[in-house]
Structure 1
Amino acid sequence: MTTDRQPTVKVRPAQFPDDKDTISNLFLAYEQHLLDTASVKLDFQNFNDELANLPGKYSVSNTGALWLAYISDSAQNTSAHSTAGDAPANETTIGCMGLRAFTTAQAELKRLYLVPSARGLGASKALMDVAIARARELGYKEVLLDTLGSMTAARRLYEKYGFREIDAYYDSHPDAVFYRLELGVEEKGT
């Protein structure tokens, strides 16, 4: 009897300029996913400027970050986890997430995206763990995010981390739902 092993998911910081094309392609796939599933274009978020200026607001110098989730071909265990470090030659990139300053006390999570074949592997959790830990390290008091009401799996994930629905903090798409996590409160992340 053969058992299928789930690949090991790892997370690493995006390196610029080396990862610019990879991040750009994932961001474009994210935009296409929103267009295909919810008829949402990201023009209202100055998406083209964001792409052209990567890492831009996500740069370390702007108290932000971008991460890549990947599967290593040399996976040695079956649990999803995250590590920081250099990209191995045998990595298969499966997703991304960004963190940027919203105010001096508030960070904003943006662009959580996984390629469809990677959903269900634990990559979203791995990215969330790294992003929230980094927000704490940077001294943020709260983390904000927005998603679409129709993205029920994403909303469940955020709520498991302790994010609570709040009023809109900027003018957005009519189906947008806004969340806040107070970093003084331990997130569950289960």
Structure 2
Amino acid sequence: MELISFTILLLLTGLKNITVTMNVFYKLAETSEEFEQAKELFIEYANSLDIDLSFQNFSGELESVRLQYDKPTGALLLVYQDGSLAGCAGIRRLDDEIAELKRMYVRPDFRGFGIGKELLERAIATAARIGYKKVRLDTLSSMTKARSLYESFGFEPIDPYYFNPIEETIYMERVI
């Protein structure tokens, strides 16, 4: 487990400066408990979308999280802030050269601190370490902050690589 401590300086108009220090841990899921924690985040993420993910066999994904997101062809990154589970990102195999980034999610209370950016950077690096040459993902056009983050990391729009009935779905890819 890697600890990253950083300090945020908040400047409040008319008030004194406030310094907040947070401890942020990033780690790969290894234990059954950690994969169960990730499943809870997957469900929370799915509920936040307000769309039905049954076309992706979401219930089957939940039943086989470890199989899909564990070594040697996958990874599940977890992030904790001050001891609380803050988010996750999954890497799973599409084919020998292409990984898919799935279920990247940072809980609302933990957003705005750079966790998503670091999580994405680590997910891409993990896919490269596994041996993938590209990372694909899908997102929704309404997720403007997520799309901007992906674009800032070099992800570009591509044609659909699987069936998705949600019209606002955007497919993206990055060479790594």
Give the distance between the partners of 1:169 and 1:29, measured in 2 at CA: 25
Q: Cα deviations across residues 74-100 of structure 1 (Å, max 9, x unaligned)?
A: xxxxxxxxxxxxxxxxx2111111000
Secondary structure of 2:65's counterpart equals coil
Number of residue pairs matched?
160
Contact 1:95–1:114 at 8 Å: present in 2 too?
yes
Secondary structure of 1:22's counterpart equals helix
Secondary structure of 1:5's counterpart equals strand
Residue 6 and residue 156 in structure 1: after superposition, are their counterparts in 2 closer, same or farther (change >3 A)?
farther
Give the distance between the partners of 2:21 and 2:153, measured in 1 at CA: 23
Calculate the aligned-residue CA RMSD, in Å. 1.2
Q: Cα deviations across residues 113-156 of structure 1 (Å, max 9, x unaligned)?
A: 11111111111111111111111111111100000010000000
- 2:12 is aligned to none
TM-score of the pair, normalised by structure 1: 0.80
Structure 1 unaligned spans of 5+: 73-90, 184-190
Q: 1:32 aligns with which of 47, 71, 79?
A: 47
The one-letter amino acid of 2:93's match is A
- For the pair 1:52 / 2:63, whether they are aligned, the reply is yes
Q: Cα deviations across residues 38-70 of structure 1 (Å, max 9, x unaligned)?
A: xx1110111101111221211113x10001111
- 1:126 is aligned to 118
Residue 33 and residue 6 in structure 1: after superposition, are their counterparts in 2 closer, same or farther (change >3 A)?
farther
Structure 2 unaligned spans of 5+: 1-15
* Identical pairs, percent: 39
The one-letter amino acid of 1:30's match is Y
TM-score of the pair, normalised by structure 2: 0.86
Contact 1:9–1:121 at 8 Å: present in 2 too?
no
Q: 1:95 aligns with which of 87, 94, 99?
A: 87
- 1:140 is aligned to 132
1:164-183 mapped onto 2 (5 Å cutoff): 164-172=156-164, 173-183=166-176
Contact 1:107–1:142 at 8 Å: present in 2 too?
yes
Give the distance between the partners of 1:65 and 1:139, measured in 2 at CA: 12
- 2:144 is aligned to 152
The one-letter amino acid of 2:56's match is Q
Higher strand share: 2
